[in-house]
Amino acid sequence: MNSIQNLCDQFFERHKSFLVENYPGIRKEVLIRELEGLCDFRYSREDFKKTPVYSIPENQMDQFFSKLLTGMPLEYITGYSHFYGLEFEVNDHVLIPRSETEFLVEKSLEICHKMKKDQLDIFEVGTGSGAIAISLAANLNEKNSITAGDISTEALGVAKSNYSKLLYQIPEHSQIKFIESDRLTKFEGQCDFLVSNPPYIKSSQRSGVHKAVDSYEPHLALYLDDEQYRQWYIHFFEQIFKVLKSTGQFLIEGHENNLEQLANWSKDAGLGNISIEKDLCGKDRFLKGSHPNG
């Protein structure tokens, strides 16, 4: 009997070099787990492994294995990604949430907690799947109102879907509003804290991006033309200066080779207490700052 276990074992061994190159950390067990999810198998993992191949819809398996051999990110094949203890819907309109961005959420929670405010107004620019905003809302102890924006209508559709599905994980004292906006153009009022994972890779740095990311993830959320880069960020920092309350702070994810530039432009915009923070791997990853009076 050719079981799911045997099928996955055979596929993995036949294409091992390609899979390892394109899917770091891939294992046979990962293939079985994700195939189980796609087939919506309702019994134990061990039972699924033993299930005869002929009892699973052929098109589900064929599509799964065919897409793997294109190098498509596993999260886009399965349609979901785990981030900060939650499961988010993802598709090719949004970036796949990553571990370094989990650290962005962790640092954001620390900053918000240290503010010791009964009510927090939070802005997020470039929300994508909504992973950052929803993770903050789910984990903040303080009453908060989050406005999360994105320039992409399609990305906002994913974010709103995730918010609807994960609403049961979010306490009543947390509220999120999603808006379509280029940076902070359509945000109203001021905030205590601003967080963003904006497009931070220059087009000239594209060769250093993993080919699966470059091929499948939305370029609108990844890249800025070199000629556009400086003016884009100068305008962004000028907007941040205007929307931060007098005690407000911000935290932005960035490219390790560009953060010194961003730090200088943020200072030129009048922002204060600028520092470059490292990620868990010890690489420069975040730009932190505040209103000059903060």
Domain ranges of the chain: 4-71, 94-290
Predicted confidence (pLDDT) per residue in 73-89, tens digit: 999 999 999 999 999 99
pLDDT at 46: 78
pLDDT at 1: 55
Residue 232, SS3 per DSSP: helix
Could you give the C-alpha distances from 114 to 87, 202, 208, in angstroms and in order?
Answer: 28, 34, 37
pLDDT at 72: 95
Predicted confidence (pLDDT) per residue in 31-62, tens digit: 888 888 777 766 677 777 777 776 677 677 78
Residue environment code for 33-68, b if the CB has 16+ CB neighbours within 10 A, otherwise e: ebbbebbeeeeeeeebbebeeeebeeeebeebbeeb
pLDDT at 173: 97
pLDDT at 51: 75
Contact present, 246 and 293 (Cβ < 8 Å): yes
User: Mean pLDDT of residues grouped by 10 in the chain (294 residues)?
Assistant: 83 94 88 81 72 71 90 94 96 94 96 95 98 98 97 98 97 97 98 98 94 94 97 98 97 97 98 95 95 85
Instruction: Return the ∠ at Cα 216 (arms to 212 and 217), rounded to 5°.
Output: 105
Specify the fold of 94-290: Rossmann fold (3.40.50)
